[in-house]
Amino acid sequence: MDWQRLITLQPTLAKIPETLKKLAEERNVDKGETLYRVGDQVRWMFSVISCELRLIRRNRNGMEIILQRSRSGFFGEASLTGGTYHCDVVVAEKGMLLQFPASAFRMALEESAEFRNAWIAHLAREVRRLRAQAERLCLRTTAERILHYIESEGVNNTLVLRQSRKAWAVELGLTHEALYRALRKMQADETLSIDGNQITLGQNN
């Protein structure tokens, strides 16, 4: 397994102890596959590399509501503590993920102080990021959300986009059309300037 490459994609993986790394497995998953069902024992901790996973709950009409959607990073951190899943986990887009035995994961957390601290830091960062995202999604207009994103995720008033604009639109809770139009208008405004995947704030914000 090429840990070097995986770690560049996901820095938290760097802090995983060797003993746990040895137990990790790459797994290719297909669209529609169900990784877990409600009530199943938690056996694996997943780290999404290139697929899309969804944590869903079904109501009595069989309609599903999406609780989480993940295209990268650890998935189902909350299940690690408890014993069984409260939701279903399905693959929405084929690709690859890493899986670690949950018991070994828990044990590694107990035994390695370094890993444990990295894990706490990881969760805390995730909390901060998600709180900022929720705050952003409460903003009413497209332009406000874009500015908020650049000011919170960018460095030095500049954002380097690491995903397609279409994917960005999803993260911003917008349609891609709305995003494209707003970007164009804000460029005309000189609210921001765009150079490929690099977006910089101008003076009119």
Using CB under 7 A, list all residues that contact DNA. 140-143, 164-167, 173-178, 180-184
Contact of residue 23 among DNA, a second copy, none (CB under 5-8 Å per partner type): none
CA distance 152 to 159: 9
| Residue carrying the six token digits 């952003």 | 136
Contact of residue 188 among DNA, a second copy, none (CB under 5-8 Å per partner type): none
CA distance 120 to 83: 20
Task: List residues near a second copy by CB under 8 A.
Answer: 55, 57, 59-61, 63, 65-69, 77-78, 80-81, 109-110, 113, 116-117, 119-121, 123-128, 130-135, 137-138, 147-148, 151-152, 157, 170, 173, 201, 205
**What is the nearest approach in angstroms of DNA to the Cβ of residue 132?**
19
**What is the nearest approach in angstroms of a second copy to the Cβ of residue 108?**
12
| Residue carrying the six token digits 């060797």 | 18
**What is the DSSP-derived secondary structure letter of residue 197?**
T
Q: Output 100 or 119, the one with its CB closest to a second copy.
A: 119
State which H helix or E strand residue 82 sits in.
Answer: none
CA distance 200 to 147: 10
Distance of CA 191 to the CA centre of its chain: 28
**What is the nearest approach in angstroms of DNA to the Cβ of residue 181?**
6
**What is the nearest approach in angstroms of DNA to the Cβ of residue 45?**
28
Query: Residues 46, 33: contact at Cβ < 8 Å?
Result: no
